[in-house]
Amino acid sequence: MSISNDSITKSVEIIENYLVKTRRYLHENPELSGEEFETSKFLKSEVQKLNLPITEVEGTGFYAILDTEKVGKTIGLRTDIDALPIVEKEENQKSKRVCKSKVNGKFHACGHDGYMAILLAAMHILVKNKDNLKGKIIFIFEEGEEICSGIGKMVEALEKEKIDVIYGAHLAAFLDTGKIAIDAGPVMAGNAIVDFTVRGKGGHGSRPDLSINPIFAATNIINGLASAWVNRVDVRKTVTLGLGMINGGTIANVIPDEVRVAGTLRYFDIEEGKKALEFVRKVGSLTAEAHECQFIENKIIQDNDPVINDKILSEFIQNSIEDIMPDSLAKDIIWFASESFAGYSKLCPTALAMIGTKNKEVGSGAEHHNEYFDIDEKSLTIATTIMVKFANDFLKAN
């Protein structure tokens, strides 16, 4: 009881127009994290056309269930649905885009438009082949991945479904179209947020001695952190320090009351990540005190755990991919970006595949979260094929 490789391939060919059309519609109509109201409405309408029951999750997320009514395992297939607050360029790395956001300042700059289309297309194929499957498939639509607003609510809602495994995919701009990576072990980094304010005493630039300048304190904190990273972080357990924001002052001759600094840490070892956060607190508070300033934590927390692919599940998926797309696997791919997908590992074994979408001919390959980011739409059919193939093979084997 299963779907043949030929049938999967032909089904994906048949649905390719729907896949591309859906991705372009979603790309043109992006919504930010936690605000995906129209996106969610559209996705639900597509699910309802297939007569699948929908379970609402607080916010804009939801999931749908395909029950074959035959005894078997339960698997989860997941997409995220949010866009980013980025202004999209008219061109990608080569030429004018095939489609562009209609909402200025909002842009699917991480490929979530593609993931949604992939999951919907896979759903169509799997529903059509329901009689050839056993068990249950849960299609997961997660809100707010970029700010982690939906993962906790989704995991809590899914607890009652007793899922055996969850599979996810990430279109990877650094990997050539046609290549797929699903290594066992850590594949995406954990993420910690660093956001603090250094408060001093403002004044006129002509008499700095009558003020307490938070700019000097903040500068010394940043320099102190750079030193701590060189000397204190275990060289065998990389933790990156990416400070992306420093705000303070509005005019040259006025010393401000405060300076705000923010950024992120990325790590694969959770304990080393915790240790690095303590460096931030200690260096920040002691350096601020030395300058007679206050160190105020706005937000210094571990946000996402690393994405760690289950060994047995990853090897199963690798074999499944090799069976339908020989010689397509890329090995030893680790990405320092972060993903809320790690949260699903609280429920069951999980695996996240990297689907290559880099193609110089179409101009894709710019970094994620970049104004030039674009995808190669050929990667959509590859990702759909792999998703359907995995669902078929896992339910057949179990």
Residues 140, 200, single domain; the answer is no
Our separate counts of H helices and E strands in the chain read 8, 15
92-95's contacts with Cβ under 8 Å and 24+ in sequence apart are 92/362, 92/363, 92/364, 92/366, 92/372, 92/373, 92/374, 93/360, 93/363, 93/364, 93/365, 93/366, 93/372, 93/374, 94/360, 94/361, 94/362, 94/363, 95/363
Residues 329, 182, single domain; the answer is yes
Q: Is 170 flagged in the annotation as binding?
A: yes
Which residue, 270, 304, 338, sits at the end of a domain?
Answer: 304
Per-residue pLDDT at 4: 96
Mean pLDDT, the chain, rounded, equals: 97
Asked if 253 and 261 count as a contact pair (C-beta separation under 8 A), the reply is: no
> 171 phi and psi, to 5 degrees?
-65, 125
Mean pLDDT of 15-43: 98
Q: Is 112 flagged in the annotation as binding?
A: yes
Which residue, 304, 319, 346, sits at the end of a domain?
Answer: 304
> 303 phi and psi, to 5 degrees?
-100, -55
The CATH number of whichever domain residue 131 belongs to comes to 3.40.630.10
Alpha-carbon torsion (317, 319, 322, 325), positive or negative: negative
Determine whether 395 is exposed, middle or buried from the number of CB atoms within 10 Å of its CB (0-12, 13-18, 19+): buried
Per-residue pLDDT at 398: 87
What is the tens place of the pLDDT at every residue in 120-173? 999 999 999 999 999 999 999 999 999 999 999 999 999 999 999 999 999 999
* Nearest residue to 16 (alpha-carbon basis) of 363, 324, 383, 391: 383
Mean pLDDT of 82-109: 97
Question: Amino acid identity of 128?
Answer: K
- 3-state DSSP of 177-220: CCCEECCCEEEECEEEEEEEEEECECEECCCHHHCECHHHHHHH
The CATH number of whichever domain residue 238 belongs to comes to 3.30.70.360
Residues 289, 174, single domain; the answer is no
Query: Is the pLDDT assigned to residue 193 strictly greater than 80?
Result: yes
Which H helix or E strand runs over 351?
strand 350-358
Residues 284, 221, single domain; the answer is yes
What is the tens place of the pLDDT at every residue in 220-261? 999 999 999 999 999 899 999 999 999 999 999 999 999 999
Residues 146, 23, single domain; the answer is yes
Q: How far is CA 241 from the centre of its chain?
A: 19
Per-residue pLDDT at 25: 98
Task: Give the alpha-carbon dihedral of 77, 81, 87, 92, to 10 degrees.
Answer: 30
Which H helix or E strand runs over 307?
strand 307-309
Residues 224, 297, single domain; the answer is yes
User: Residue 115, SS3?
Assistant: helix
What distance in Å separates the CA atoms of residue 373 and residue 370, rounded to the nearest whole number? 5
Tell me the two tokens of residue 125: 């194929």
Which residue, 273, 304, 335, sits at the end of a domain?
Answer: 304
Q: What is the DSSP letter of 329?
A: B
Residues 155, 32, single domain; the answer is yes
Instruction: Domain count for the chain, please give it.
Output: 2
| % of the chain at pLDDT higher than 70 | 100
User: Residue 353, SS3?
Assistant: strand
> 137 phi and psi, to 5 degrees?
-125, 125
Q: Is 291 flagged in the annotation as binding?
A: no
Per-residue pLDDT at 1: 74
Q: Which domain holds residue 381?
A: 5-188+307-395
What is the tens place of the pLDDT at every residue in 178-192? 999 999 999 999 999
Q: Is 293 flagged in the annotation as binding?
A: no
Residues 165, 220, single domain; the answer is no
What is the tens place of the pLDDT at every residue in 300-346? 999 899 999 999 999 999 999 999 999 999 999 999 999 999 999 99
Q: What is the DSSP letter of 49?
A: T
| % of the chain at pLDDT higher than 90 | 98
